[in-house]
Amino acid sequence: MSSLKTHVLVVGAGPGGYVAAIRAGQLGLKTVLVDVDRLGGTCLIRGCIPSKALIHAAEQFETVRRAAAGNPLGISVATPPVLDMAQTIRWKDEIVDKLSGGVGGLLRRAKVDVVPGWASFSDARTCVVQGEGEPVTITAEHVILATGSTPVQLTNLPFGGDVISSTEALDLAQLPKRLAVVGAGYIGLELGLAFTKLGCDVTVIEAKDRILPQYDAALSRPVAKALTRAGIALHLNTVAQGYAHGALVLRDKDGAITSAAADKVLITIGRRPCTEGFGLERMAVNLAGPFIKVDDRCATSMRGVWAIGDVVGEPMLAHKASAQGEMVAEVIAGKRRRFEPAAIPAVCFTDPEIVTVGLQPDAVGEGAQVATFPLSASGRALSMESDGDEGFIRVVAGGDHRILGFAAVGRNVSELSGEMTALIEMGAVLEDVGALIHAHPTLSEGIGEASLRALGHAIHV
């Protein structure tokens, strides 16, 4: 067994881990990165990137399919399109391969040593990595745990066979005729809408009384209407009890039992942190529920052990993990840093999309100002045929006019998240935003218009 000593050991090569390793390498720290999987982690390999690729392919296919029936734009095709799902998956995999290879190149440029394999810790800063070759013992001065999260399964619907997680859903080389999605959160609805556009008959089952319960009703309502327009069967206040012989057994809040035909059952009820199997119990770190407990520098209760990303709690977002990884590397290098963002943007890539940044109306007190700008009054939205999705841009400000939060629902509104976040982080007030000159015609004009409306003198609504 060979041994290796390093200043920084990063466990997990997802968007938190590889960013931490790259930044540590840039700062001149001897750094080792360990992961049993490919570089890029869940987000790049089987999450954010492949799902957005599949969503894009689904949108393209639906566009052509609609053109076969004619449309108001005057575009038509002679025959309906045919989907080669295996080719779609190959295209998606090419994107993943390119990006994963790019991460490898960035790590090499930062002089980070990558050790493939599974790390098992004997104490807080010593582990054995078992890969395809000889085991390697690694001792580090600092350990950064970036082990991520994994899909939650139901006890009565364990993963296997035709019961799948989002991981398997993104690798289906053959399109199922009927797909049941258990869980109407953002993952379930993103994939449910995508598979509907690809030609599946989709049924969505949600235990709560509405879809996207993490968002307020105003934001989720346009998406609910889009599900109806798409022909998706939606069962609210309903739980899935079992699956056999192509039928998913359902029970509603009154106890009535029904069933839904399904060739595949996609479980999307949430994710849990990966804290088992690598010896966390031998590292003497405290937990906060299922998560690793950290302070505002992402330091654990054990000196020299840090944790970032999904494993430390909500929000489970790749960009949060990356920001924490960069910060921890700089703290280890001696810089004074704290993780104290004013806002972390979150996006739901349904159709229409949802973006939220900062505080929302239900989290602010009296005296706050809330105003919306309907995208039906946006020239850019109309030119993209998105006037029918009832979209809007919303601003929330305090009594002092300081911007506290933004939200939007509509086609392509995810691209507004950068400006929204920057305005909150920089402490903008309504007058600042209203005075900005936004390019015309763009959706970003709605950010200014919503702010002007909060001030009582919107121009275009």
Please name the amino acid found at residue 235: H
Active site positions, annotated: 440
Residue 229 buriedness (CB in 10 A; 0-12 / 13-18 / 19+): exposed
For residue 128, give both structure tokens: 């054995």
Pair type for strands 247-252 and 257-261: antiparallel
Please name the amino acid found at residue 332: I
> Cα separation of 215 and 281, whole Å?
35
Which residues, at least 6 apart from 232, have a Cβ–Cβ distance to it below 8 Å? 192, 193, 196, 202, 203, 204
- Helix, strand, or coil (residue 358): strand
Which residues, at least 6 apart from 106, have a Cβ–Cβ distance to it below 8 Å? 18, 22
> Cα separation of 191 and 200, whole Å?
11
In order of 163, 192, 227, 241, 251, the CA distances from 235 in angstroms are: 18, 13, 12, 13, 10
Cβ(147)–Cβ(13) below 8 Å: no
Q: Cα–Cα–Cα angle for 42, 39, 269, nearest 5°?
A: 5
- Helix, strand, or coil (residue 367): coil
For residue 406, give both structure tokens: 């933004």
For residue 265, give both structure tokens: 């059952």
